[in-house]
Amino acid sequence: IQTAPIAITGDPVLYQKAAPVIAFDVALHNLTQTLMATMLQARGVGIAAPQIGVSQRLFIVASRPNERYPDAPLMEPMVMVNPVLLSGSSEWELGEEGCLSVPGKRLSIARHLWIDAQWQDLQGNTHSGRLHGFVARIFQHELDHLDGITLIERIT
């Protein structure tokens, strides 16, 4: 399966608002496979389509325990199409984040403790649910990518 180069700070695609996915076709499946392979190769816990130069509203959340979040859940990677943050907890939590598009940086970012999210799967079915902790953090980080926001913009 093909991997793709990851766009890094300065690449205009990272600062655009991504377009909604409308075709749940074989092209979307192929894009998702490339996205997944690229994330796994880069050993990320998430990745958004704009990070491989595709300005579409699609990302993957793939939490696993790691040195910064040892109690993070090990989860099957979740493909989220046209994701929406419906509401977020009033409590925020500071946590260390990295970004595959901002190599070598670890920044402390405030995120909602939990969020109510809605998204579509690759078949176009709509799902919704409450995400907590590290999974909620990854979702919020990836959603920023779909809105042209990277860690650097979050800090400033």
Contact residues toward ligand K1U (CB under 6 A) are 43-48, 66, 68-69, 96-101, 137-138, 141-142, 145
Helices and strands (H and E) in the chain: how many: 3, 7
**Alpha carbon distance 75, 43 (integer Å):** 14
- Closer residue to ligand K1U (CB): 64 or 127: 64
Q: Tell me if 77 sits within 8 A of 60, measured CB to CB.
A: yes
- By a kind-dependent CB cut-off of 5 to 8 A, residue 31 interacts, out of Zn ion, ligand K1U, none, with none
**Alpha carbon distance 17, 43 (integer Å):** 25
- Closer residue to ligand K1U (CB): 25 or 153: 153
- By a kind-dependent CB cut-off of 5 to 8 A, residue 66 interacts, out of ligand K1U, Zn ion, none, with ligand K1U
- Helix ranges (H only) for 6-100 are 26-42
Paired tokens of 17: 């608002």
Give the Cα-Cα-Cα angle 65, 141, 10 (nearest 5 degrees): 120
Q: Is 31 in the site for Zn ion (CB under 5 A)?
A: no
- By a kind-dependent CB cut-off of 5 to 8 A, residue 119 interacts, out of Zn ion, ligand K1U, none, with none
Kindly name the residue from 67, 93, 96, 142 that is annotated as catalytic: 142
- Closer residue to ligand K1U (CB): 18 or 47: 47
| 93 flagged as catalytic | no
Query: Measured on CA atoms in the order 100, 105, 106, 111, is the torsion positive or negative?
Result: negative
Q: Is 61 in the site for Zn ion (CB under 5 A)?
A: no
Question: Which residues of the chain form contacts with Zn ion (CB under 5 A)?
Answer: 99
The catalytic residue positions are: 142
